[in-house]
Amino acid sequence: MTNRTLRLATRTSIAALTALAVSVPFAVAPAFADGELNLYSSRHYDTDERLYSDFEEMTGITINRIEASADELIQRMDSEGANSPADILMTVDAGRLYRADELGLFQPYESDTLEARVPSYLQHPDGHWYGFSQRARVIFYDTNDVENPPATYQDLADPQYEGMVCARSSGNIYMLSLMAGLIEHLGEEAAEEWATAFYGNMAREPEGNDTAQIRALVSGECDIVVGNTYYFGRILRRLAEGNPVEGFEDQETVDQIGWVFPNQEDIGTHVNISGAGIAANAPNPENAALFLEYLASDQAQEYFSAGNDEYPAVMGTALSPSVASLGLFRQDTQNLSVLGENQALAQEIYNRVGYP
């Protein structure tokens, strides 16, 4: 089946899916399709169960999941080749989607619905993948110790913050994508100068995940850290639920944490995505197309926010209280494909300046 045929064959089903979504909730909509969908996913969030069960209940399509790290899934699909059972690859970070696409693991999918709902900078230019949720990479700071927090990513390299900053290692995909975006905006030479000074401002050697960075902030090890919004959103949500994240058991601790959406006056705040695309050799391409369209529906978009404290990809979607409390912001609108295109150079720059 050609890609063009795929689009035409699924249009009627997608129209029916949309109509059902408008008329009744997904969870109680009558099934109108059947078959299965083989989903390779590196999203490791238990709250995604709702996304999958709602889709199954609405469509009658059974989702068979293979879950592993992004690198493992990409390697597996590449090894499986034309015999791969994967219909969808779903993963976190545009850089990883780029890696998969460079190996030919996606096929293009044209969709009027996705074109209308997903902003162009959150999708592959030729429809190989689409972003369905967002997380902003922001600056957190200790409100007790930092009177003048950095307003931009460039400010993180300012000598006034020497010995105050903590961040993840250079090989982390979030740090690679941040550097890749800065390369696109600033150029290679300026990006390398920034990396040198940024690393020079570190309070300790880079280590740990984003939650560990925020924990180091409240413990006094660091005064300024870089992290994704959904990690902090989770801290806020679980505290409100009475099931706090370790190290953030009381409101006073959380109130100590301030945050800045960087670069609101120029390039905008760096964002990344969870995204998905139809596998190049998908045995169930029509069901895969339905799943992509479902992920852009109002119901699924609201659940990305409510279930995992992410910003939805579709503008105007209702935000969960934890996400809404973080605020709205002006984001970087460069196409996220550049995060993959500049990824190798980003790692090279980090290596050159000795950032481990």
Task: Quote the CA–CA distance of 149 and 191 in Å, as a whole number.
Answer: 21
> Does residue 159 register a pLDDT over 90?
yes
Q: Which domains does the chain have, with CATH numbers?
A: 3-134+272-318 (3.40.190.10), 135-270+329-353 (3.40.190.10)
> Does residue 16 register a pLDDT over 70?
no
Q: What is the pLDDT of residue 67?
A: 96
Split at pLDDT 50, 70, 90, the class of 45 is: confident
Give 60-70 pLDDT, tens digit per residue.
Answer: 999 999 999 99
> Does residue 283 register a pLDDT over 70?
yes
Give 108-158 pLDDT, tens digit per residue.
Answer: 999 999 999 999 999 999 999 999 999 999 999 999 999 999 999 999 999
- This prediction's pTM: 0.90
CA–CA distance from 355 to each of 95, 213, 262, 349 (Å)? 19, 17, 22, 9
Q: What is the pLDDT of residue 9?
A: 34
Task: Quote the CA–CA distance of 312 and 290 in Å, as a whole number.
Answer: 19
Show Cβ contacts of residue 104 under 8 Å, excluding neighbours closer than 6 positions: 280
> Does residue 6 register a pLDDT over 50?
no
Residue 8 vs residue 237, higher pLDDT: 237
Give 79-104 pLDDT, tens digit per residue.
Answer: 999 999 999 999 999 999 999 999 99
Amino acid identity of residue 350, one-letter, is Y
Q: What is the pLDDT of residue 47?
A: 79
Mean pLDDT, the chain, rounded, equals 91
> Does residue 28 register a pLDDT over 70?
no
Residues 191/170, Cβ–Cβ less than 8 Å:
no
CA angle 154, 159, 165 (to 5 degrees): 70
Q: What is the pLDDT of residue 103?
A: 98
Q: Which of 141, 111, 326, 121 is nearest to 216 (CA)?
A: 141
The SS3 call for residue 44 is coil
Q: What is the pLDDT of residue 34?
A: 72
Long-range contacts of 154-159 (CB under 8 A, 24+ apart): 154/186, 154/194, 154/263, 155/262, 156/194, 156/198, 156/201, 156/224, 156/226, 157/193, 157/194, 157/196, 157/197, 157/198, 157/200, 157/201, 158/197, 158/201, 159/197, 159/201
Q: What is the DSSP letter of 216?
A: H
> Does residue 7 register a pLDDT over 80?
no
CA–CA distance from 24 to each of 58, 184, 299 (Å)? 10, 44, 11
Split at pLDDT 50, 70, 90, the class of 26 is: very low
Q: What is the DSSP letter of 129?
A: -
Q: Which of 280, 307, 312 is nearest to 88 (CA)?
A: 280
Q: Which of 113, 110, 68 is nearest to 86 (CA)?
A: 68
Split at pLDDT 50, 70, 90, the class of 33 is: low
Split at pLDDT 50, 70, 90, the class of 2 is: very low
Split at pLDDT 50, 70, 90, the class of 46 is: confident
- Helical axes 173-186 vs 188-200, angle rounded to 10°: 130
